[in-house]
Amino acid sequence: MRADSHRLSILSDPLPIPRASVQYPVFSSSPVAVSDLSPPLKLQSYSLPSQVSYQELARFFRRHPDALGVLITEDNAENRPENKAINRNASTPIGMVSQQRLNQWRSQRDLWRNALQRPLAQHVAWWQAASQYVQIEDWLPLQDAIDRLLEEQVEEEPADASNLSEPIVIITATGAKLCDRNHLFAAYTRLIRAQQKALVEPAIETLRRQQQLILDAIGDGVYGVDLQGNATFINPAAAQMIGWEPQALIGKSMHQVLHHSRPDHSPYPREACPIYAAFQDGIIHRVSEEVFWRKDGSCFPVEYISTPMRDEQGKLVGAVVAFRDITQRKWAEAILQRTNEELEQRVRDRTIELQQANEQLKELSELRSRVVTMVCHEFRNPLNNILLSVSSLERYGAQLTPEQKGHYLLGIQDNVERMTQMIDAILIIGRVEAKRIEPQPSQFDLIPFCRDLMAEIAGEIQHPRLQFTCRFKRLLVTLDQCLLRSILTNILTNAIRYTPAPGKIQFKVLKQHHQIVFQITDQGIGIPPEDLPYLFEPFQRGRNVSNIAGTGLGLNIVKRFVDLHGGQINVSSQLGQGTTFQVSLPLHLPVCG
């Protein structure tokens, strides 16, 4: 018994607990101690001597079902070790038993029955010694106490993970007491929130002032409306453009102020207004050609964007409208239109002169005339966009942010790239017309060729929706690989471009008699029936493509390359449901010696 008592005394010496290496913010200049918390922590003072049996321990917990645990004290003065500095009084805790640990022991039925009548001192392995549980002095700053708990969680062995739910021992002036870990963390959370609020409120006011300064500095008109369409804020630029004082507009219906009529002075119903639609359907609405009305009754052309506003819960609370006076741009567009018309007229005049000069080249001249006309038409939009972007950069360069300038420059780059693609496609068509492109067939296995092509397209366009089907594991063909790659790539990329996610694209390879058939089916927007007869003509695009990028030359090149192989291409489409392209090519082309 003396040996066990000596062991208990040694375990009662609390080990020093190192500070956590992770630093957490302390918002108060004078740290709050654990004992100063308001409301104070809920502490429990249950203790039993080490000579109590396990049966009496179980009986204690039945009488106190709300107890977090019980502290074990060494009360036998005769059995204390010679080093009495470790236990200075009989009530010094040397261990702790929690409700959780008791339940774990009782589940070990054979061991539990054998230990019921034995005192706690004889089974020290069944409870936490003082060196194992967390002791926190009530005068300790709350931040330091939290650091100790966090360090214990980081360094805890997986096998001892149950210790993370054990109570904490709080050392007070009246003795040791038990506290739930969650209560301590909750108190820390309440304290931090209160201190954060004291710091955040001035920051919010500063942010509000900064936002007002930003609104005042924006050159475009910006205003906000609530769900009734009444103005909640308006920047000086917007008020100046419509001839009002900013404060005079707050609370007024902005539709009645500046958007009440159409350009022909006919009434503009509120229900048809895209600005109001933004906080009805929650979608951003962009309008490029409408008018706003000034206080003096005059109007001016504008482009605007109406963006829905939501609160923290995602509920629609209104909309923000940003608009720009585009009078100068309209003037530039009119000049550009006249210039284009003059250019087209000159092209037509020159075409007539060429036809009169050389009747023998009539067919070629007509073809060139059509190509030039179509090129002028197709180049007009990107040229217009480039001109407008350059014009905006010149006029508003000092007012635009770097991001806005980058947007204009990116638009110029995209339009130049589009024109480059058209030029490349026109050059290919010209080479075909001049018979400078002839098939160069070679024998190869079609299956790995198609799989490699699919992987290249999927990786380049980042579209995992392609599905390849073929019942052959190996299929030898003799075709021009370069031309075939161009045919399939054009059709597949078109299928991806016009098929919104998550629509699938089926790519099937079939063998029919002496022909190889490529069947590509998408679930895209489809082709209007009236556009199908002209699908393979240059610069022809479906009227439903909207703003989807394209040159209108890809399918014309596909048709020419199919014809070079002596094959056929057929199209079937249903508007809004999808399109199927079927390309039939000879299985083997003769190889030139």
- The DSSP call for residue 172 is E
pLDDT band at 77 (very low <50, low <70, confident <90, very high): very low
Kindly report which listed range (106-110, 116-120, 268-272, 551-555) carries the lowest average pLDDT score: 551-555
User: What is the distance between the alpha carbons of residues 539 and 123, in angstroms, rounded to a whole number?
Assistant: 91
Task: Answer yes or no: are the C-beta atoms of 452 and 422 closer than 8 Å.
Answer: no
Report DSSP letters for 309-333, one per residue. Answer: EE-TTS-EEEEEEEEEE-HHHHHHH
Please tell me the predicted confidence (pLDDT) of residue 158.
Answer: 53
Task: Answer yes or no: are the C-beta atoms of 541 and 552 closer than 8 Å.
Answer: yes
Residues 6+ apart with CB under 8 A from 154: 20, 22
Task: Answer yes or no: are the C-beta atoms of 260 and 269 closer than 8 Å.
Answer: no
Please tell me the predicted confidence (pLDDT) of residue 118.
Answer: 84
User: What is the distance between the alpha carbons of residues 548 and 525, in angstroms, rounded to a whole number?
Assistant: 11
Task: Answer yes or no: are the C-beta atoms of 276 and 299 closer than 8 Å.
Answer: no
Task: State how beta strands 47-49 and 69-73 pair.
Answer: parallel
pTM assigned to the model: 0.35
Please tell me the predicted confidence (pLDDT) of residue 532.
Answer: 85
Report DSSP letters for 508-526, one per residue. Answer: EEEEETTEEEEEEEE-SS-
Task: Answer yes or no: are the C-beta atoms of 71 and 169 closer than 8 Å.
Answer: yes
pLDDT at 28 over 60: no
Residue range 244-258: average pLDDT? 91
Angle of helix 554-564 relative to helix 481-497, nearest 10 degrees? 150
Task: Answer yes or no: are the C-beta atoms of 518 and 525 closer than 8 Å.
Answer: no
Residue range 11-39: average pLDDT? 52
pLDDT band at 10 (very low <50, low <70, confident <90, very high): very low
Please tell me the predicted confidence (pLDDT) of residue 25.
Answer: 46
Task: Answer yes or no: are the C-beta atoms of 312 and 228 closer than 8 Å.
Answer: no
Please tell me the predicted confidence (pLDDT) of residue 107.
Answer: 82
Residue range 434-459: average pLDDT? 84
pLDDT band at 456 (very low <50, low <70, confident <90, very high): confident
User: What is the distance between the alpha carbons of residues 141 and 19, in angstroms, rounded to a whole number?
Assistant: 12
pLDDT at 55 over 80: yes
Q: How many other C-beta atoms are found inside a 10 Å radius of the C-beta of residue 173?
A: 8
- The DSSP call for residue 75 is -
| Strand ranges inside 28-167, DSSP E | 47-49, 69-73, 93-98, 128-129, 135-137
Convert the pLDDT of each residue in 532-576 to its tens digit: 888 888 767 777 777 666 666 778 888 888 998 899 999 999 988
For 438, counting Cβ atoms within 10 Å of its Cβ (0-12 exposed, 13-18 middle, 19+ buried), the class is: exposed
Most confident residue range from 267-276, 349-358, 540-549: 267-276
pLDDT band at 386 (very low <50, low <70, confident <90, very high): confident
User: What is the distance between the alpha carbons of residues 35 and 271, in angstroms, rounded to a whole number?
Assistant: 63
Q: Which helix (H) or strand (E) is 232 found in, with range? A: strand 231-234
Residues 6+ apart with CB under 8 A from 446: 475, 476, 477, 509, 516
User: What is the distance between the alpha carbons of residues 2 and 41, in angstroms, rounded to a whole number?
Assistant: 38
Residue range 466-474: average pLDDT? 90
Residue range 349-360: average pLDDT? 77
Residue 557 Cα distances to 506, 560, 564, 582, angstroms: 22, 5, 11, 16
User: What is the distance between the alpha carbons of residues 218 and 401, in angstroms, rounded to a whole number?
Assistant: 10
**Bigger pLDDT: 86 vs 507:** 507
Query: Which has the closest alpha carbon to 172: 139, 141, 144?
Result: 139
Residue range 177-206: average pLDDT? 81
